Structure 1
Amino acid sequence: MRKAMPAALVTALAVHLLAGCAENRTAGAGTDTTGAEIPEKVSAGTVIAVGSPETKVALQLSGQIDELPFKVKWVQMSGGPQCSEAFRAGELDVCSAAEVPSIHARWTGLPTKLVAAEFRKDPHRNPIYELGIAPGADIDTLEDLRGKKIAYSPGQAQGALVLRILARAGLTEKDVELVELPSTGDVYPTALGSRQVDAAPLGGVNIKRFTTKYGKEGGKTIKHGLRDDPAHLWVPTESVNDPQKAAAIREFVKFWARAQVWIDEHPKEWVEGYYVKDQGLSREDGEYLVRINGTSDIPADWDPVVERHQKTVDLLAEKTGNEPFDAETLFDRRYETVAADAVADGRKGS
């Protein structure tokens, strides 16, 4: 496999290639008005496009989807790369994503905001990712990564996690070979199984499937010991600059939060309705995912969230050569307590 370009060079190229598109999008966003008061009511004719497939299924299964006081155009996408391109094209208003896409968007000239935050209770017992180790790679600890080939996806959560893992092991990207690969689908498990890379962060059912398929040959996973669980609702600044869309997004955040609680409280229905019927997984795989995912933690105070985000900004800036910035600028504080209040109100009502 061709050796990856340095991350700083990749970022510079991305900035150059996307400059024209980003300039148009920035111009369309106009002045940031996210300090303005959000209207109390949403016009019934308001439409927002949402990329959060899990939320759609949870609202359907819980019977809440018909209670939305506005129109939602559901888009079958989530995550940084797909959603950022949809934001640029003006085709998406809300997306489910981790923390890195908002940072990467800032560096490529795309104005965005974070309007909801979710973590996992007991995140060290229930991490999202484990470090997959290829058969025969001779890696038993994080320190053994020195000199090894590691799958790396800049602009995504897995890429930032790799940099954190190296720092925890007392290593830098110069001590390893970072191989740029997209982290979608089964790309990482396949690259590990074929020995294209020695290590790669694996999440969800890929952890179980990789060890089942390659365990007899020596394939395994090891714990990284880091918190890797931030999840957000992410929006283009242009959408929250629009008063009616801002109000619709506020109401959607409430439904999203209650959907997370419903998932936690109805594991059997979630396994059957989402993992089996919607995603086509086996019931065994669905039960495995529910077990490792743990339960949701939706904070009402974003100060620790912003502090964590800032550490990620600073880490990525150092490693990629981009300019650090104040992470506070990525958060729309008008939405700070919306999700947590909705959860509290829902529990009182039940």
Structure 2
Amino acid sequence: MPRFGPIALAAALVAPLLLAGCASDDAEGGASDEELAAAEIPATVDPETTLTIGTPEAQVALELSGLIDEIPFTVEWANISGGPQCSEAFRANALDVCSAAEIPSIHAHWTGLDTKLVATQFRQDPVEHPIYQLGVAPGADVDSLEDLRGKRIAFSPGQAQGALVLRVLDAAGLTTEDVELVEIPSTGDVYPTALGNGEVDVAPLGGVNIRRYLEQYGPDGGTTFHHGLRDDPTHLWVPTSAVSDPQKAAAIREFIGLWARALTWADEHPEEWIQGYYVEDQGLSTEDGEYLVEQNGHPEFPADWSGAIERQQQTIELLAAELDRESFDAGTLFDRRYETVAADAIADAEGGGS
């Protein structure tokens, strides 16, 4: 299994960027940032407008809540999620909207794929309700970030978990030279298995893998602990060509509002959400669903993106230093015409107005 020194680490991180960059010329561009910011989004949507949307979790929330019937345009749903899949679909001009964490839009910028973030969701009490916890292998003797020095840490270049590892090392006052990064993809139950088999000492675990790892390997000494950092941003992500089209821009605005309302509905109806999404759609047990609902925390949709942009800037600078890439202004990733749409939709639904 490959290990990373400083040079190998940079090569591993750059490789997916170079591969993606080979296809970047195939992606349609959109308006310039100045033109986009000045363009007014139409007040109404032509019902003949079609968006291809890849937000599987939100799709289920829209269906269960009945809000799907309020969509005022045509939707073609795509079973696509995560940065790599969304990026490929954007390049093929086959997707208009997807859900992604903060890393994919940064990598897209570096590979010439022109995209924008049009909605932002965080978790209330994000440090208490992180997306990931750090899993510790039996016998690894790690209880805090300070104990990471010299440890073998699972690392997935170009994914949210990989960026979290770099952020954790930074918070601990460590560099990639102070640990041994082990390249392992973060799909499925690969990380829990790697921990349990002693292939790595530490790995970021998310979702039901946290619970299952403790159930399976806890008796042998496997543990988890909170990293103490905010790891919760989720965005709606679009190719700039989509928001450059006036009717698609209007349809995206309507979808953002319904997306925020649907996720809020799911939070406020945990029993229906557990049964409809975790059990019937995802094939998990009721107990798994209850655990995930308890861990998730409540969604919030900021009407001011200044904090989100500042966080994105910090991430850009951290990754740029590791990748030997050029830093850039995080604000260019956001289409701030949509800044208050989600928050306004929640306020209107609650009778609070804009």
Structure 2 length normalisation: TM-score?
A: 0.95
Bigger shift: 138-147 or 57-66?
138-147
Q: Mapping of 1:200-219 within 5 angstroms?
A: 200-219=203-222
Going from structure 1 to structure 2, the CA distance change for 1:13 and 1:128 (only over 3 Å counts) comes to closer
Of the three residues 318, 321, 326, the one matched with 1:323 is 326
Q: Distance in 2 between matches of 1:75 and 1:174?
A: 41
Residue matched to 1:257: 260
Task: Report deviation, 1:335.
Answer: 0.3
Q: Which deviations, in whole Å up to 9, do the C-alpha atoms of 1:243-267 show, x marking residues without a partner? A: 1111111110010010111011101
* Aligned: 1:97 with 2:103: no
Residue matched to 1:159: 162
The DSSP-based 3-state class of the residue aligned with 2:64 is helix
One-letter code aligned to 1:31: A
Of the three residues 126, 140, 143, the one matched with 2:143 is 140
Task: Report deviation, 1:175.
Answer: 0.7
Residue matched to 2:36: 34
Q: Contact (CA 8 Å) 2:17, 2:110: kept in 1 or not? A: yes
Residue matched to 1:188: 191
Q: Which deviations, in whole Å up to 9, do the C-alpha atoms of 1:174-209 show, x marking residues without a partner? A: 111111222121121121112111111001111000
Residue matched to 1:24: 26
Residue matched to 2:249: 246
Q: Mapping of 1:1-350 within 5 angstroms?
A: 1-4=1-4, 6-25=8-27, 28-32=28-32, 33-35=35-37, 36-348=39-351
Bigger shift: 190-199 or 208-217?
190-199
Q: Distance in 1 between matches of 2:232 and 2:111?
A: 24
The DSSP-based 3-state class of the residue aligned with 1:263 is helix
Task: Report deviation, 1:227.
Answer: 0.9
Task: Report deviation, 1:30.
Answer: 4.2
One-letter code aligned to 2:130: P
One-letter code aligned to 1:282: S
Bigger shift: 181-190 or 250-259?
181-190
Q: Distance in 1 between matches of 2:234 and 2:91?
A: 21
Bigger shift: 137-146 or 73-82?
137-146
Task: Report deviation, 1:316.
Answer: 0.9
Name structure 2 gaps, 5 residues minimum.
none
Q: Contact (CA 8 Å) 1:313, 1:324: kept in 2 or not? A: yes
Corresponding residue pairs, total:
348
Q: Distance in 1 between matches of 2:82 and 2:120?
A: 14
Task: Report deviation, 1:63.
Answer: 0.8
Task: Report deviation, 1:349.
Answer: 7.8
Task: Report deviation, 1:10.
Answer: 2.5
Task: Report deviation, 1:38.
Answer: 0.9
Q: Contact (CA 8 Å) 2:267, 2:299: kept in 1 or not? A: yes
One-letter code aligned to 2:270: P
Going from structure 1 to structure 2, the CA distance change for 1:246 and 1:316 (only over 3 Å counts) comes to same
The DSSP-based 3-state class of the residue aligned with 2:21 is helix
Q: Which deviations, in whole Å up to 9, do the C-alpha atoms of 1:258-304 show, x marking residues without a partner? A: 01110111011101110011111110110010011110111001111
One-letter code aligned to 1:276: V
Q: Contact (CA 8 Å) 1:8, 1:322: kept in 2 or not? A: no
Q: Which deviations, in whole Å up to 9, do the C-alpha atoms of 1:13-60 show, x marking residues without a partner? A: 3343333310221xx214334221111111111111111111111111
The DSSP-based 3-state class of the residue aligned with 1:136 is coil
Going from structure 1 to structure 2, the CA distance change for 1:334 and 1:289 (only over 3 Å counts) comes to same
Going from structure 1 to structure 2, the CA distance change for 1:15 and 1:349 (only over 3 Å counts) comes to closer
Q: Distance in 2 between matches of 1:326 and 1:265?
A: 37
Q: Distance in 1 between matches of 2:166 and 2:279?
A: 34
Q: Contact (CA 8 Å) 1:41, 1:247: kept in 2 or not? A: yes
One-letter code aligned to 1:348: G
Q: Distance in 2 between matches of 1:321 and 1:133?
A: 30
The DSSP-based 3-state class of the residue aligned with 2:260 is helix
Structure 1 stretches of at least 4 aligned residues deviating more than 6 Å after TM superposition: none
Task: Report deviation, 1:12.
Answer: 3.4
Q: Distance in 2 between matches of 1:301 and 1:144?
A: 37
Seq. identity, % = 64
The DSSP-based 3-state class of the residue aligned with 2:23 is helix
Q: Distance in 2 between matches of 1:256 and 1:45?
A: 20
Q: Contact (CA 8 Å) 2:279, 2:289: kept in 1 or not? A: yes
